[in-house]
Chain A
């Protein structure tokens, strides 16, 4: 099965101590590796204002992770753990590999077009030169 790419963001209550967040991260990482996935990147965005109230909080501690995995069961397990974890007030997983594939296709197409264009413009100039030479 092909590899999938996910973004996972979760928000903790703003008064959560840092070690607590690290503990959640550790359990998530362990769960991911158990399900044959791996954590590619972890970013702690820190406390940010929420756009709306979530469980009566106006602020939240954001943690952003990039995951790779092959089975959907990994996400199910991670989300279950996030649901159970007490300080977590919100989480979201987004599957991104298809969009990345689309993006790469677009980039490749543009590069091909760019590669073609310079060839097109010097061509008439070269034609003129040969005409002038003859």
Chain B
């Protein structure tokens, strides 16, 4: 945590997130914003399989938050929605490859 806190105090205009890990701060990592928050989604519909499919891997696993940038609240709703969609065969539990 301490390491993460240091860079912003050194560099005046540090980017908010993602840079803390690298000692050399050459790489800018653009801060990901939760897609559902920008769209102001209050309910993630389990019936919209094409939307949900963007948040699972090719094999059908849930994508972690650190990849998609979804906020914790929406990730919680999203995982619920994906599990429901799986139940009614809209999404795979594990797609055969």
Q: Which residues of A contact B (CB under 8 A)?
A: 7, 9, 11, 50-52, 54, 60, 64, 90, 92, 94, 99-100, 102-103, 106-107, 110
Q: Are A92 and B84 in contact (CB under 8 A)?
A: yes
Say how far B81's CB is from chain A's closest CB, in angstroms. Answer: 10
Q: Are B40 and A54 in contact (CB under 8 A)?
A: no
Tally of chain B residues near chain A (CB < 8 A)? 17
Which among A9, A51, A100 has the greatest number of chain B C-beta atoms within 10 A? A51
Q: Which residues of B contact A (CB under 8 A)?
A: 40, 42-43, 46-47, 49, 60, 84, 86-93, 95
Q: Are B89 and A90 in contact (CB under 8 A)?
A: yes
Q: Are A100 and B43 in contact (CB under 8 A)?
A: yes
Q: Are A103 and B89 in contact (CB under 8 A)?
A: no
User: Beyond A64-B47, A92-B84, A94-B84, is A52–B42 a contact (Cβ under 8 Å)?
Assistant: no
Q: How many A-B residue pairs have CB under 8 A?
A: 37
Give 27 pairs: A residue, B residue, CB < 8 Å, sorted on A. A9-B47, A9-B88, A11-B88, A11-B89, A50-B89, A51-B60, A51-B86, A51-B89, A51-B91, A51-B92, A51-B93, A52-B89, A52-B92, A52-B95, A54-B89, A90-B88, A90-B89, A92-B87, A92-B88, A94-B46, A94-B84, A99-B43, A100-B43, A102-B42, A103-B42, A103-B43, A106-B42
Q: Are B42 and A60 in contact (CB under 8 A)?
A: no
Q: Which residues of B contact A52 (CB under 8 A)?
A: 89, 92-93, 95
Say how far B39's CB is from chain A's closest CB, in angstroms. Answer: 13
Which among B43, B46, B89, B93 has the greatest number of chain A C-beta atoms within 10 A? B89
Closest 8 pairs between A and B when the two form their complex, measured CB to CB: A51-B92, A50-B89, A103-B42, A92-B88, A103-B43, A106-B42, A51-B89, A9-B88
Say how far B5's CB is from chain A's closest CB, in angstroms. Answer: 30
Say how far B91's CB is from chain A's closest CB, in angstroms. Answer: 5
Q: Which residues of A contact B84 (CB under 8 A)?
A: 92, 94
With both beta carbons as reference points, the residue of chain A lying nearest to B46 in the complex is identified as: A94
